Amino acid sequence: MSELIFKTAHELADLLEKKEISSEELTNAQFERIEKTEKYIDAYISLNKEGALNKAREIDRKRAEGQKLSHLAGIPAAIKDNICTKGITTTCASKMLYNFVPPYNASVMDRLSDTPILGKANMDEFAMGSSTETSYFKKTKNPFDTGRIPGGSSGGSGAAVSASEAIFALGSDTGGSIRQPASLCGVVGFKPTYGLVSRYGLVAFASSLDQIGPFTKDIHDCALVLNEICGHDEHDSTSLDIPTADFTKALTGDVKGMKIGVPKEYIGEGVSDEVREKVLEAAREFEKMGAEVDECSLSMMPYSLAAYYLISSAEASSNLARYDGIRYGFRADGCTDVDEVFFKTRSEGFGDEVKRRIMLGTFVLSSGYYDAYYKKAQKVRTLIREDFNKTFEKYDVLLAPTSPCTAWKFGEKSADPLEMYAADICTVSINIAGLPAASMPFGVDKGGLPIGVQLIGKPLGDADIIRAGYALEVHAPKISPEIGGAR
């Protein structure tokens, strides 16, 4: 098997630019890897071999003709299965959309028009989950231990990059769904500032929280993908109309004078000792490089989990009302009237976790409970934002764990929804405040499972995260999984 698939996107981009390799060669090597390892990992819901190879040949032809191409042109990627891809099934890992083929592309897919799409990555159903166990189709395995979960909801995307089944991948992050699987799978995952990447064509879970972002092998690759996918989009009313930054300019390796805060609430009760120690070790490395590191406090952080699940479930209840068996997707058989179509289709088409959140969201929006729950959660959201804003008056970046623990075994938390929800404690507050954040690998626990540290930036402070992460990455131990007894 070609060693190309183990290289980073920026290394491959240079080889492609120099015409030392072809996109077709690289894409074929990637499918060879998928054929070898997918039986262990189950990262993909569907593959797009013919389409990807056709795109690769097209890019090779354009490059040979001297046409101007994007920097990542010809580098194959995996796409989370809630991002619309024209002509390619987009299921959201749900029976409800098992046969849905979008007639249009999400805006990010148009921005990555030079990218061969390897396939659609597995996920928790409608992005609701933290382990990729709620998928209707399959359970994705963690490449470091196939008896353990990869995280969620973008578990397929994280596992694909970790297992070298994709050079990079796209996921979505509503409450940690990029960063948490990145942490558990030992790769880089980036959630941009809300509005920096268009949500047009992302199947909505919670519209005020959702954000598309990349999974990559290192920070440099992350900067390259962000350069491609960020930018204003008139199709998305929440898209920020600001000049597009070049994130590669932040790849300096210099953090001298940078002020980094370590919120004490993120490393307290509920966080494993090994995870806490890795965060503190990262803090010491920053100090050695000349950054100013202090402990700080985010007093509203303990309220973020409750506020998140109330807000996100309310928005999910509204967004998922469109799945009724009438216009597209799954429709139940044997119905005698329209009411029965709605009832049976939604009962049979949605899984337990999705139903749970729809019911919770409908309850908190209902008459008599709106003020007590949803309205109060929105007020808490404002306080959380103000808490972060005050803290960022003093610090450039915050350092925290991504996940309070490393990957757990299948079934370990799925019987207790509240225990599963608690796995998001380190990530949800960032979505509530609309901030950018990244998870990057920083060693392993005593069982050899990856530990990720999280870098949190102020609004539009995405470049500060790239700068800090690139500097820290030099001091992070290199880790990679063995799959089926081989690399």
pLDDT value for 2:
83
Say how far apart CA 79 and CA 246 lie, in whole Å: 23
Residue ranges covered by each domain of the chain: 3-255+463-473
pLDDT band at residue 485 using 50, 70 and 90 as cut-offs: low
Say how far apart CA 238 and CA 192 lie, in whole Å: 13
Reply yes or no on whether the pLDDT at 120 is more than 60: yes
| SS3 call for 354 | helix
Q: Which two tokens stand for residue 203?
A: 């199947």
pLDDT band at residue 1 using 50, 70 and 90 as cut-offs: very low
Edge to edge, the sheet with strand 117-121 lists: 44-47, 117-121, 77-80, 168-172, 212-216, 188-191, 437-444, 450-457, 397-401, 259-263, 292-296
Reply yes or no on whether the pLDDT at 486 is more than 80: no
In the numeric block, the tokens 């757990």 are attached to 408
pLDDT value for 356:
96
Say how far apart CA 487 and CA 334 lie, in whole Å: 50
Say how far apart CA 397 and CA 260 lie, in whole Å: 5
DSSP assignment letter at 22: -
CB atoms within 10 A of CB 311: 25
pLDDT band at residue 487 using 50, 70 and 90 as cut-offs: confident
Say how far apart CA 300 and CA 379 lie, in whole Å: 12
* CA neighbor of 178 nearest in space, from 394, 186, 5, 170: 170
Q: What is the mean pLDDT of residues 431-455?
A: 98
* CA neighbor of 173 nearest in space, from 207, 202, 211, 215: 211
Q: What are the angstrom distances between the C-alpha of 212 and each of 193, 209, 466?
A: 10, 10, 17
Using CA of residue 476, residue 481, residue 485, residue 487, what is the dihedral sign?
negative
- Phi, psi dihedral angles at 454 (to 5 degrees): -110, 130
CB-neighbour burial class of residue 397 (10 A; exposed 0-12, middle 13-18, buried 19+): buried
CB atoms within 10 A of CB 295: 10
pLDDT value for 200:
98
Number of DSSP helices (H) and strands (E) in the chain, helices first: 15, 11
DSSP assignment letter at 245: P
For the chain, give the mean pLDDT. 96
Q: Which residues are catalytic?
A: 80, 153, 177
Reply yes or no on whether the pLDDT at 139 is more than 60: yes
Reply yes or no on whether the pLDDT at 426 is more than 70: yes
Model confidence pLDDT, tens digit, residues 54-75: 999 999 999 999 999 999 999 9
Reply yes or no on whether the pLDDT at 197 is more than 80: yes
Cis peptide before 153 (omega within 30 of 0): yes
Reply yes or no on whether the pLDDT at 484 is more than 80: no
Per cent of the chain over pLDDT 70 is 99
Q: What is the mean pLDDT of residues 301-306?
A: 95
Model confidence pLDDT, tens digit, residues 216-256: 999 999 999 999 999 999 999 999 999 989 999 999 999 99
Q: What is the mean pLDDT of residues 2-9?
A: 95
Reply yes or no on whether the pLDDT at 317 is more than 60: yes
pLDDT value for 141:
98
Check if the beta carbon of residue 365 is closer than 8 Å to that of residue 108. no
* 417-420, Cβ contacts within 8 angstroms, sequence gap of 24 or more: 417/353, 417/356, 420/129, 420/130, 420/131
pLDDT band at residue 424 using 50, 70 and 90 as cut-offs: very high
CATH 3.90.1300.10 for the 3-255+463-473 domain, yes or no:
yes
DSSP E strand boundaries for 264-382? 292-296
Say how far apart CA 260 and CA 266 lie, in whole Å: 14
